[in-house]
Amino acid sequence: MKKDVEDIKSKSKLLFNNEVEATDLKILFDYSTNYNLLFDIVDDIINAVSHIKATSRPGNYQYLLRLVPCIAKLIYFEDIMETSPIYHKIEEAINIISIELTKIHSKKLNQLLAKIQSSLIKIVDILDSEEYINRHIVEAEEKEKLRIRREQAKQIIRYILFEVKDIKLLINIKNEYIKEAIKLDIDYIIRKVCDEYLYGVYAFDEYYVKLFLFLSAEPNFEVSAYADNMQYIINTFKEFMTAEENSEVVELHKDRMMYILEKITTRDCKRKYDIPTPIKSTDFNCDFNINVGNNIIDLRNKKYIFTIDPNDATCLDDALSYEVLPNGNVLIGIYIADITDIVLAGSNLDEYAYNIAETIYYSKEIPMLPKAISSDFGSLRVGADKLVQAFTFEVDPEYTIVDARVDRALIRVNDNYTYGKIDELILNGGNLPFANDLRNLYDYSKYLLGKNVRRQIYMHSKEALDPTRKANDRFGNNPSNRIISELKVLTNSHWALKACEFDIPFIFRNNLKNQKTGNPNFTSIITDPEFVSIKCALAASYGTSYYSALNEGHFGLDVDAYAHIAIPLRNYCAEFNQRMIGNYFLDQDIYNVDADVLRETASSLADYLNERILLNKMYIDECYNKKKMLTK
């Protein structure tokens, strides 16, 4: 080597202690070209081996062994053929080592030389291989494959954001090409959002506002190489907004655009996503009187009523009962906390619940209703008199529902069970009160689920796709979860159908089958092996669930109608539907307005809830990602 040997020896130690990239070798050894470095490394090996003596110390030549892997890395920067000078140099080094091995009788020196020679022979084998000779063709093919993958990933992103319009689906896709494509395609995405929001058929569609907020706040996207991804998006947005050709339409939407910018630049998560400040206990009144009669039946002496909830649950909004009737049928009761006398329509309490829309489960939960109500007045705790909407189903031995009704009732819960307690009882046996009836209830829930394979897949996929989902409504296979989830589906779907049958104002939870677009590229993309991990997510039959005053059915659960009814303490839609059930089925005259006005109210409320719940999800996602980064 034409450099100082001691300097080379010291630098070769870096090769032993660190994995130096091939592209950094030239810099490490201070060479202008890879060819010169490669030539000098082989030349130095030849010179060093030629001067080895029987008395030489093996340690003085260890650096040669560390230099040989550099040759294997550097040959890929050059086109080395059998006629190339370097090829002959490597062969010369192999021959010289063979000669020296016959002269030197030091075992350690011979072992060292044999290792160097073996490594050089492998390098010659690489140079003679078809793979090396044709590597430029292979590299070109790989580059083309990479280009295609990136294009496919862009198409997937655009498909999800602007055709499927499902932000959550994009969050849950774990694929390196998708992450990279968002960075590469971010300018197009931003301009598309701005353009469609201002000019397109989707003008004033809140989805685009939420999408813009989401792109600005989502740390997982890593949308640009800039230090502040959010600022990059804001700047791009401002450039679009201040362009001369956009000035006229921007003036029309100036206030809305300023609102968006204000939200994006807000660093505090709660302010950014409009999470309301918790309501004070002095702002509402929980005093109310319950009188048996006046359409309220007394079930406080009913044989056995119990709840099943997670260990840490404080909001107990549903209870169950199971009773064998004299005619051989069974009566299954689902009791939902009735808060219509506590949360009065139009009150401060109702306004707060409306503003947050649902209980937000993340770390320290943010309840939809103050804990004085969700964990005390409204919660179905043991021994206390509680007002409920009692949904009962009479079921014959063949599991056919022969009668179903709803009543306003006063109950007294006998036991608050945990999931674990019920699982232990059903799976391993036990002597809890009502043990056999509990097992029969589990059998009935298995029957309900067994009728519907699609529902099984749908319910299991919900939690798999959402790692931040709280355990309260997890869709596990254990008996306790199965009982709760199936009886809730039964109640929600049955009374949603009743609402349709009697044409009463209601808010439904719809889920439509995803329809593939006419994009011919999309089918080929999701069948590509590189995207096999996201094929299920992209090709899933389940569309995004959403609220609507019009019933369109729930494809995922395979029911003709579905509505949130059973969780009024933590879901504003269920609270609204509970009022409608009270008004129309129980004749409580909660609303003194006509049905047409209520339908308009339901329609606007459904649109609002879709927007509010998306903001809540974005808030949870951002908190979750920030916590994950801090943990790292």
Residue 586 CA, distance from chain mean position = 40
User: Which pLDDT does position 162 carry in this prediction?
Assistant: 80
Same domain, 154 and 126: no
Q: Which of 28-37, 268-277, 485-494 has the lowest mean pLDDT?
A: 268-277
Q: Give 280's DSSP letter.
A: P
Structural domain contains residue 162: yes
Q: Which has more confidence, 283 or 60?
A: 60
Mean pLDDT of 495-517: 84
Q: Given the structure tokens 């494959």, which residue do they identify?
A: 145
Structural domain contains residue 273: no
User: Which pLDDT does position 583 carry in this prediction?
Assistant: 85
CA angle 495, 499, 502 (to 5 degrees): 130
Start-to-end CA distance of the chain, whole Å, equals 45
Which H, E and C letters describe 400-412, residue by residue? CEEEEEEEEEEEE
Same domain, 494 and 612: yes
Mean pLDDT estimate for the chain: 78
Q: Confirm if 339 and 378 have CB atoms less than 8 A apart.
A: yes
Last residue of one domain, picked from the residues 101, 133, 165: 133
Structural domain contains residue 382: yes
User: Which pLDDT does position 227 carry in this prediction?
Assistant: 44
Regarding pTM above 0.95, the answer is: no
Same domain, 495 and 567: yes
Between CA 383 and CA 298 the distance in angstroms is 14
Structural domain contains residue 557: yes
**163 contacts: CB under 8 Å, gap ≥ 6:** 517, 519
Same domain, 81 and 209: no
Q: Is the pLDDT of residue 422 over 90?
A: no
User: Which pLDDT does position 472 carry in this prediction?
Assistant: 42
Mean pLDDT of 27-42: 85
Q: Is the pLDDT of residue 400 over 60?
A: yes
Whole-number CA gyration radius for the chain = 35
User: Which pLDDT does position 245 carry in this prediction?
Assistant: 62
Same domain, 184 and 110: no
Report the domain count for the chain: 3
User: Which pLDDT does position 436 carry in this prediction?
Assistant: 80
Structural domain contains residue 17: yes
User: Which pLDDT does position 468 carry in this prediction?
Assistant: 47
Structural domain contains residue 272: no
Residues recorded for the chain: 632
Last residue of one domain, picked from the residues 238, 265, 292: 265
Structural domain contains residue 540: no
- Residue 168 vs residues 161, 218, 465: alpha-carbon distances, Å: 10, 12, 9
pLDDT tens string 64-120: 888 888 888 888 888 888 888 889 989 999 999 898 888 887 888 888 889 989 999
Between CA 537 and CA 558 the distance in angstroms is 19
User: Which pLDDT does position 627 carry in this prediction?
Assistant: 54
User: Which pLDDT does position 83 carry in this prediction?
Assistant: 86
Q: Confirm if 566 and 317 have CB atoms less than 8 A apart.
A: yes
Last residue of one domain, picked from the residues 265, 290, 324: 265
User: Which pLDDT does position 404 carry in this prediction?
Assistant: 92
Copy the structure tokens of residue 520.
């011919």
Q: Which of 203-207, 479-483, 600-604 has the lowest mean pLDDT?
A: 203-207
Q: Using a pLDDT cut of 70, give the percent of the chain over it.
A: 72
HSE-up of 381 (CA within 13 Å, CB side)? 12
Same domain, 52 and 90: yes
Give the number of other Cβ atoms within 10 Å of residue 21's Cβ: 10
Side-by-side strand order, sheet with 415-418: 296-298, 401-412, 385-395, 330-337, 318-324, 305-309, 415-418
pLDDT band at 121 (very low <50, low <70, confident <90, very high): very high
Mean pLDDT of 525-537: 62
Same domain, 240 and 213: yes
Give the three-class secondary structure for 382: strand
pLDDT band at 500 (very low <50, low <70, confident <90, very high): very high
The boundaries of the domain holding residue 162 are 149-265
Highest mean pLDDT among 247-251, 453-457, 554-558, 584-588 belongs to 554-558
User: Which pLDDT does position 563 carry in this prediction?
Assistant: 94
Q: Which of 152-156, 283-287, 352-356, 567-571 has the lowest mean pLDDT?
A: 283-287
Structural domain contains residue 194: yes
User: Which pLDDT does position 498 carry in this prediction?
Assistant: 93
Mean pLDDT of 282-305: 74
Same domain, 286 and 260: no
Same domain, 470 and 375: yes
pLDDT tens string 537-579: 655 556 678 899 999 998 888 889 999 999 999 999 999 999 9
Same domain, 242 and 201: yes
pLDDT band at 225 (very low <50, low <70, confident <90, very high): very low
Same domain, 445 and 330: yes
pLDDT band at 473 (very low <50, low <70, confident <90, very high): very low
Mean pLDDT of 264-292: 68
Between CA 22 and CA 24 the distance in angstroms is 5
Highest mean pLDDT among 25-34, 268-277, 550-559 belongs to 550-559
User: Which pLDDT does position 534 carry in this prediction?
Assistant: 63
Q: Given the structure tokens 């079921």, which residue do they identify?
A: 395
Mean pLDDT of 279-294: 65
DSSP 66-108: HHHHHHHHHGGGS---TTSHHHHHHHHHHHHHHHHHHH---HH
Same domain, 478 and 604: yes
pLDDT band at 392 (very low <50, low <70, confident <90, very high): very high
Q: Is the pLDDT of residue 332 over 90?
A: yes
**424 contacts: CB under 8 Å, gap ≥ 6:** 430
Copy the structure tokens of residue 548.
């609507």
Mean pLDDT of 195-218: 63
Q: Is the pLDDT of residue 454 over 50?
A: yes
Q: Is the pLDDT of residue 461 over 80?
A: no
User: Which pLDDT does position 39 carry in this prediction?
Assistant: 87
Q: Which of 68-82, 232-246, 427-441 has the lowest mean pLDDT?
A: 232-246
Measured N-to-C along each axis, helices 107-128 and 85-103 cross at an angle, to the nearest 10 degrees, of 150
Mean pLDDT of 620-625: 70
Give the three-class secondary structure for 506: coil
pLDDT tens string 334-370: 999 998 888 888 888 888 889 889 988 876 788 888 8
Q: Confirm if 534 and 156 have CB atoms less than 8 A apart.
A: yes
pLDDT tens string 519-529: 556 666 666 66
HSE-up of 163 (CA within 13 Å, CB side)? 14
